[in-house]
Chain A
Amino acid sequence: MKVRLDKLTKVFPSRNKRSKEVVTAVSEVSFEIPAGKLVGLLGPSGCGKSTTLNLICGLEKPTSGRIFFGDEDVTDLPAELRGVGLVFQNYALYPHMTVLKNILFPLENLKGDKKLSKEMMLQKAEEAARLVQISELMERKPSELSGGQQQRVAIARALVKMPKILLLDEPLSNLDARLRLQTREELRRIQRETGITTVFVTHDQEEAMSISDMIVVMKEGVIHQSGKPQDVYDDPKDLFVAKFLGTPPINVFDGEVRGEKLLIGGAAVLDAAGVRDGAVKVGIRSEGFVPSADGALECGFTAVEVMGRDTSVICSHPAFIGDSIRAVISAETPVDTTKPTVRFDLKKSKVLLFDPKSEERIRFDEGANG
């Protein structure tokens, strides 16, 4: 089912009761989730992504704006009538019930013509358990399960009633690193198999990038950009999005455009046809560096980290903003580690320019078109 948010705003009263100030958790958020897709809601903590999730499932009421499931306006529907499935960060399994009882619970609450027979319920619960591969754990209590198993039970419980939408709040953050990788593939598989429109919230961009059909990047209650993960990564709208996506993070330099040339530390590193003269911030993806004896960008060499397939060259530059530059190159490319400096050519597609004040993206060909 398609989900559409239309100018959703959520304002909370301030924690300090005497002050009349308010906190705007979500501000005029609009986006559309195509039916059957897996969407990652992404942003640093406090960006309003969890509030957005709560608004979609009905645990919070929006201050203004509307929410549509398909063509139906569900804004005023309470959570229990929305027919959504929600997986909590800490799973929120009912501690006194067995796994089976936990999974049956949402089915037992169905009323009217949706009511199921006992056999039907059991059958559905077993199906859901099979889907997340916990069939052999049905009689255990949550306290007797590992974190990963609890996670699966929580997903089964959310899926068993065939929700219109499946919501997951930081689903992987309580798992250890190895399990996280495994579970995220699992999530992808389950979503594919069921075809349920799924939204999950995370602060981990790698997680979101790796499994989502679409990502929505938020900061301070506002959507910065949304789209296919690769598109957003390649073509970020502003410096925040560019910095937030990608591991290792993008390398940012103070630079300048003069006479259609991009200068970093006074050295011309790229053609910048069509870009107006003035100061810019230059973001270079770590895979945008090509070691070259006569490269235009000269950096102070610090160290090399070999990581199997890739090699990270760690170096420094006076115009660099931050601690150290990290350039990722293929392991076959030789790097002369004896010299105090290392020179790079830059791949133009991996170099992004931003306005130093507004931090909005400046495109290389923008000036030419405008």
Chain B
Amino acid sequence: MKNKTHAEKRIGRKRVAVRTLTYILLAVWALAVLFPFYWMLLSSVKSYGAYNSEYVPAFYTVAPTLENYVSAFREAPLAKYFLNTLIFTLLTTGIMLTVTVLAAFAFARLEFKGKNIVFALFLALMMIPNELVIITNFQTITSAGMRNTFHGLILPSVASVFYIYLLKENFEQIPDELYKAAKVDGTSDFKYLVKVMLPIARPTLITIAILKIIECWNSYVWPRLITDEKARFLVSNGIQEIRENGFGRENVPAMMAAVVLVSLPLIVLFLIFRKRIMKGVSMGGTKG
């Protein structure tokens, strides 16, 4: 058996070729994904003068500088954008979690008349595209005088049917016996929710929170409709503002510095919670 036959050798060679080709293909796409990130990072550390003197852009820089980061903060209210986005993200996620937990608990644990019908109606709402309701919401918020306020930004996005559904499913996997045990141990429904269900469902809650944070951090359309004062902009709108009106001049390195700063928090979050985010997204999250 020492000597491989001709056919065996051929198959072995073919396998190696296929494997090599696969790795090349995967590496090419990995480069395509990473290249824009590399380019933004690279451009953000080239000096203004160096960047503009390169007719053919260089793939590296010998004299990296952080001056663009300084000017990004100085020449645009970037810090304000960050603060707004942070407040918006935390408040929206917090309120959304509260609303979601209460509703999911009612569906999963409580018995009430018409539960199945109400839940079916909830599910039906999942199919309603945002574009259809955003017009009225725009009018509602505008006529309520909530333009350029956090209320106006936050309130329309705190009830998520999908997350209620997700958490309800998770709550229902908690064995009935625990509820009975807690009843016999003398707890109220609310205390059971807080002391037993929430700790057990913590992984799902974290997943939901992270997905919502990503959504909030990247939201563009609604903030654009509802804010027109620069001081109220979120990062997406801030970036768009910088893109269109610049830093007084076409300062690409400073723009790229801003872009790096905006992208960084979520990339860090993703690298920390990679598995959880990917699992959560594959459960039915879609982009947009």
Identify the A interface with B (CB < 8 A).
Answer: 57-59, 78-86, 88-90, 92, 94-97, 105-106, 109-110, 157-158, 161
Q: Assess the A86–B181 pair: CB atoms within 8 A.
A: yes
Out of A57, A81, A88, A110, name the residue touching B177 (CB < 8 Å). A88
The 8 closest A-B pairs by CB, nearest first: A92-B177, A109-B186, A106-B185, A96-B199, A92-B181, A79-B183, A86-B184, A80-B186
Q: How close is B132's CB to chain A, nearest CB, in angstroms?
A: 35
In this assembly, does B3 line the interface, its C-beta being within 8 Å of a C-beta of chain A?
no
* Complexed CA–CA distance, A218 and B125 (Å): 50
* Complexed CA–CA distance, A82 and B183 (Å): 10
Find chain B residues with CB under 8 A from A57 CB. Answer: 184
Residue of B nearest to A95 (CB): B200
Sample of 23 A–B contacts (CB below 8 Å):
A58-B184, A59-B180, A59-B184, A79-B184, A80-B186, A80-B187, A80-B188, A81-B186, A86-B181, A90-B175, A90-B177, A92-B175, A92-B178, A94-B182, A95-B200, A96-B199, A105-B182, A105-B185, A109-B185, A109-B187, A157-B185, A158-B184, A161-B185
- Given the known inter-chain contacts A88-B177, A109-B191, please indicate yes or no for A96 contacting B184, CB distance below 8 A: no
Find chain A residues with CB under 8 A from B199 CB. Answer: 96-97
Q: Assess the B184–A80 pair: CB atoms within 8 A.
A: yes
Out of B183, B195, B196, B200, name the residue touching A80 (CB < 8 Å). B183
Find chain A residues with CB under 8 A from B180 CB. Answer: 59, 79, 86, 88, 92
Find chain A residues with CB under 8 A from B184 CB. Answer: 57-59, 79-80, 82, 84-86, 158
CB-contacts of B178-217 with A (<8 A): 178, 180-188, 191, 195-196, 199-200, 202
* Complexed CA–CA distance, A57 and B202 (Å): 30
Q: How close is A162's CB to chain B, nearest CB, in angstroms?
A: 13
Residue of A nearest to B176 (CB): A92
Find chain B residues with CB under 8 A from A80 CB. Answer: 183-188
* Complexed CA–CA distance, A110 and B185 (Å): 9
Find chain A residues with CB under 8 A from B178 CB. Answer: 92, 94
Out of A59, A92, A96, A106, name the residue touching B186 (CB < 8 Å). A106
* Complexed CA–CA distance, A124 and B200 (Å): 26
Residue of B nearest to A90 (CB): B177
Q: Assess the A59–B183 pair: CB atoms within 8 A.
A: yes
Find chain B residues with CB under 8 A from A95 CB. Answer: 200
* Complexed CA–CA distance, A129 and B178 (Å): 20
Residue of B nearest to A169 (CB): B177
Residue of A nearest to B199 (CB): A96
* Complexed CA–CA distance, A264 and B178 (Å): 54
Residue of B nearest to A84 (CB): B184
* Complexed CA–CA distance, A89 and B199 (Å): 23
Residue of A nearest to B185 (CB): A106
* Complexed CA–CA distance, A79 and B183 (Å): 6
Q: How close is B9's CB to chain A, nearest CB, in angstroms?
A: 53
Q: How close is A111's CB to chain B, nearest CB, in angstroms?
A: 8
Residue of B nearest to A154 (CB): B181
Find chain B residues with CB under 8 A from A86 CB. Answer: 180-181, 184
Residue from the set B186, B187, B202 with the largest chain A CB neighbour count within 10 Å: B186
Q: A88-B180, A94-B178, A105-B182 are in contact. List 16 more A-B contacts (CB 8 A).
A: A58-B184, A78-B183, A79-B180, A79-B184, A80-B183, A80-B186, A80-B188, A86-B184, A88-B177, A96-B202, A105-B185, A106-B186, A109-B187, A109-B191, A157-B181, A157-B185
* Complexed CA–CA distance, A112 and B183 (Å): 18
Residue of B nearest to A110 (CB): B186
* Complexed CA–CA distance, A95 and B197 (Å): 10
Q: Fill in one digit per residue for B151-184: 1 if any A CB lies within 8 Å of its CB, else 0.
A: 0000000000000000000000001011011111
Find chain B residues with CB under 8 A from A92 CB. Answer: 175, 177-178, 180-181
Find chain A residues with CB under 8 A from B186 CB. Answer: 80-81, 83, 106, 109-110, 161
Find chain B residues with CB under 8 A from A81 CB. Answer: 186
Residue of A nearest to B178 (CB): A92
* Complexed CA–CA distance, A92 and B188 (Å): 17
